[in-house]
Amino acid sequence: MSGSLTRLAKTSLCAMAFAATTCVHSESHASCGSAACFLLTGEEGAVQLEGKLSVGLTYAYTISKLQSGTSGFVTSVDQEARQLVMNEHAEHRTILEVTTLDVNYGLTNNLTLELLVPYKHIKHTHIIERGSADTLGAGEYEAFQDAGIGDVRVNTKYSFLPTLRSLIVFGFGIDLPTGNSHANNINGTLQEPTLQLGHRTWGIAPSIFQSYEIIPHVLDQFARVSYQHSFTGPNSYRFGDVYVVSGGLNYKTLKILTLTGQFNWRYAVHDEFTGTLFRVPEPGTTDIFPGPLIPVDTGIKRRPVPNTGGTTLAFSPGISVQVRDQLRAYFFAQVPVVQDYNGGLIPDVSYLAGLSMSF
């Protein structure tokens, strides 16, 4: 009986290989950016048997644009002056590319240790210092870009078989503050927290994954719920909590080809910042334009950052190919269906491709 269970576990784990976890770091790029991909791929969450190793490499591309019917004016975060400034930025576009190394090692037949190392490339364009006398009120165009290692995640996954055709995996990840968070803007001051490579703080990411073989070796259903929490950083900025719920089907055909369809729902809470609140002067009003910032609340308080957070419902079709016995290749697209990002940039169709090798 134990031999049959072992064989079934191996089969179930292979069936799960394309639906076990979300893309690393589903981030809330707040006043300057968007959410990175958050679909289920399986590479990051592959559960290994004892002593077995898998190595994966994924590339994700997300472009975020201004939502139709919105002004693009968002609240800026001046970490050095401890100020939130309403409508100080005019957003244009963000391109986020993330290449992730994913290493899984089986500590036991049920417990896997995972290491996720993202390399990020961010390109962002916007207008800063709107209303300022130094820019004659028009603001200053900035094309910002940065690249480097982001926040590394160390994850553990524990799996068990409640029935012969189902599998449950409990995950718990810890985000390390490894990404650089000291990049400056064109004026030599600290760049927005949401445009930095890292969060500059620790985080936790628990999750639960479930899979059921509707037709053994042909059709299986999967679902996953995850939560991400970042603690408050040294500049009193805290990224909002992120909740992700996903579910879908894998259909295996032609022995080497797997087709996947899934829905992904993501909800991100507003980021928070401790500081004062100002707004920029606006033309056509009683404000002195261009001119100094206008105080709204000069008390140093913990406040939500208005244009951060958001909600997305997306459909994500995908295809995976068993290239060799131990090598898999896959490609996914994530198509937003419903989105609300509080007036900030919203992601367009995102793409993800990857390879995975087992040893």
pLDDT at 22 over 50: no
Q: pLDDT tens digits for 264-291? A: 999 999 999 999 999 999 999 999 999 9
Q: Could you tell me which residue, 71 or 30, shows the higher pLDDT?
A: 71
- Quote the radius of gyration of the chain (alpha carbons, Å): 22
pLDDT at 39 over 70: yes
Location of structure tokens 């999750």? 207
Q: Where are the alpha helices (DSSP H) in the chain?
A: 2-16
What is the pLDDT confidence band of residue 10, given thresholds at 50, 70 and 90?
very low
Q: pLDDT tens digits for 169-189? A: 999 999 999 999 999 999 999
pLDDT of the residue at 323: 94
Q: Which CATH fold would you assign to the domain 2-358?
A: Porin (2.40.160)
**Domain locations in the chain as residue ranges:** 2-358
Q: What is the pTM for the complete model shown?
A: 0.89
Paired tokens of 295: 């105080």
Across residues 240-248, what is the average pLDDT? 96
Q: How far is 180 from 147, CA to CA, in rounded Å?
A: 9
Q: How far is 73 from 342, CA to CA, in rounded Å?
A: 11
**Cis-peptide into 162, omega within 30 deg:** no
- Looking from the CA of 99 toward its CB, the CA atoms found within 13 Å total 7
Q: What is the DSSP string of 290-355?
A: S-PPEEEEEEEEEEE-TT--EEEEEEEEEEEEEEETTEEEEEEEEEEEEEE-TTS-EE--EEEEEE
> Which H or E run includes 168?
strand 166-175
- What single-letter DSSP state applies at residue 39? -
Q: Could you tell me which residue, 65 or 31, shows the higher pLDDT?
A: 65
pLDDT of the residue at 114: 95
What is the pLDDT confidence band of residue 68, given thresholds at 50, 70 and 90?
confident
Q: How far is 273 from 84, CA to CA, in rounded Å?
A: 8
Tell me the one-letter amino acid at 34. S
pLDDT at 359 over 90: no
Paired tokens of 118: 């993202």
Q: Strand pairing of 272-279 and 83-106?
A: parallel
Q: How far is 296 from 350, CA to CA, in rounded Å?
A: 38
What is the pLDDT confidence band of residue 32, given thresholds at 50, 70 and 90?
low
pLDDT at 28 over 70: no
Helix-then-strand count for the chain, H and E: 1, 18
Across residues 121-135, what is the average pLDDT? 95
Q: How far is 49 from 110, CA to CA, in rounded Å?
A: 7
